[in-house]
């Protein structure tokens, strides 16, 4: 559950009035700008949303009489209304301040422009109110990419994550990763509060990554851009050698690219994951080494065929 005080503290907003009412709950991530409502049209008024006043709304109220403001503002203030937010450092109507105090609703203010402020609040609420699912794995940020390492128990996920951290990359979560859908193409992963900054290394126990490696070695959350599946090496298993096979896994109903890396004695899995992350970034930028190899191979075959024909 998110309360108004969480929004004020996390986004560093100012409380204009009603500081004693900041424990009101917010149940919707959507934001409302009461335009039609100011004209008296309340048929579809979303009273459970945060109500944002920008320059247009404030300018419109300045043309209203005190009685009109009193009538409209009382309708805007319901038992479900979380709070009012006034952007751009604009002056809040006196009538709104009085009525919100009577109804127990806080007013928040900010100097940020209206559209940007609405986006900031909406993004924060979406991340906080989104349904979370816990999955098993180690989430590490490698070269700016969120890489989720998965595999059978005991295969060395945490040890590989630790090696990556020693190489200068950052830990997001170990063992259990809470994920949620940010939008249709983005899934975010973070650590549960009880496991934040902690790793379990068999034979050593629980270690605090931030305490051992510093604040730059951890991050609170990250988009999951790539999933690396660690699998025991076996001659019976077929592994992709060219990188041409495309595989995805669904996380929170979002498709995420996945590669499988065989694990055997002598293979430096952490280094391989680093290279996989760099190769993935290169592909997203338009360069595909596999296609380059296939083009070179096709050109070689064509050259040999021409020479044989001569």
| Residue 151 assigned ligand-binding role | yes
Which of 33, 49, 157, 169 is labelled catalytic?
A: 157
End-to-end CA distance of the chain: 77
| Residue 75 assigned ligand-binding role | no
Angstrom distance (rounded) from CA 100 to CA 103: 5
Angstrom distance (rounded) from CA 186 to CA 256: 9
| Residue 158 assigned ligand-binding role | yes
Closest alpha carbon to 174 in 208, 144, 142? 208
Which of 56, 136, 167, 220 is labelled catalytic?
A: 136
Which of 6, 47, 175, 288 is labelled catalytic?
A: 175
| Residue 66 assigned ligand-binding role | no
Tokens at residue 18, please?
């009603």
Closest alpha carbon to 31 in 129, 138, 141, 117? 117
* Residue 169 is a catalytic residue: no
| Residue 156 assigned ligand-binding role | yes
* Residue 175 is a catalytic residue: yes
Closest alpha carbon to 218 in 277, 258, 176, 162? 162
| Residue 235 assigned ligand-binding role | no
Angstrom distance (rounded) from CA 249 to CA 136: 14
| Residue 89 assigned ligand-binding role | no
Which of 63, 202, 236, 241 is labelled catalytic?
A: 241
Give the β-pairing of 248-251 and 170-173: unpaired
Cα–chain center distance at 182: 6
Angstrom distance (rounded) from CA 56 to CA 172: 42
Q: Is 266 exposed, middle or buried (0-12, 13-18, 19+ CB in 10 A)?
A: exposed
| Residue 104 assigned ligand-binding role | no
| Residue 137 assigned ligand-binding role | no
User: Taking the alpha carbons of 43, 45, 47, 48 in that order, is the dihedral positive or negative?
Assistant: positive
Cβ neighbours, 10 Å, residue 100: 23
Kindly provide the residue ranges of all beta strands, DSSP E only, lying in 191-305, ordered along the sequence: 198-201, 205-208, 221-232, 248-251, 254-263
Q: Which residues are annotated as a binding site for Mg(2+)?
A: 158, 200
Catalytically active residues are 136, 157, 175, 241
Q: Which residues are annotated as a binding site for ATP?
A: 151-158
Q: Which residues are annotated as a binding site?
A: 151-158, 200
């Amino acid at each position: 559950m998110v309360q108004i005080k969480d929004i004020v503290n996390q986004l560093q907003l100012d409380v204009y009035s009603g500081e004693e009412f900041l424990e009101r709950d917010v149940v919707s991530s959507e934001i409302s700008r009461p335009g039609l409502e100011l004209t008296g049209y309340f048929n579809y008024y979303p009273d459970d949303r945060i109500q944002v006043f920008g320059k247009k709304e404030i300018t419109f109220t300045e043309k209203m009489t005190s009685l009109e403001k009193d009538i409209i503002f009382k309708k805007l203030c319901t038992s479900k209304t979380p709070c009012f937010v006034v952007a751009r450092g604009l002056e809040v109507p006196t009538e709104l301040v009085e009525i919100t105090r009577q109804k127990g609703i806080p007013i928040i203010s900010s100097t940020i422009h209206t559209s940007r402020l609405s986006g900031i609040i909406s993004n924060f609420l979406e991340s906080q109110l989104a349904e979370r699912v816990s999955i098993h794995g180690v989430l590490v940020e490698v070269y700016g990419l969120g890489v989720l390492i998965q595999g059978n128990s005991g295969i060395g996920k945490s040890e590989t994550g630790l090696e990556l951290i020693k190489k200068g990359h950052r830990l997001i979560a170990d063992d259990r990763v809470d994920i949620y859908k940010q939008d249709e193409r983005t899934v975010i992963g973070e650590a549960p509060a009880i496991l934040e900054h902690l790793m379990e290394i068999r034979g050593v126990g629980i270690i605090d990554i931030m305490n051992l490696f510093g604040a730059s070695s951890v991050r609170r959350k990250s988009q999951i851009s790539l999933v690396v599946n660690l699998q025991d090496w076996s001659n019976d298993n077929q592994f992709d050698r060219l990188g041409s096979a495309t595989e995805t896994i669904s996380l929170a109903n979002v498709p995420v690219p996945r590669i499988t890396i065989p694990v055997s004695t002598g293979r430096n899995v952490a280094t391989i994951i680093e290279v996989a992350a760099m190769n993935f970034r290169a592909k997203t930028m338009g360069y595909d080494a596999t296609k380059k190899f296939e083009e070179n191979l096709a050109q070689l075959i064509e050259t040999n065929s021409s020479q044989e024909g001569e």
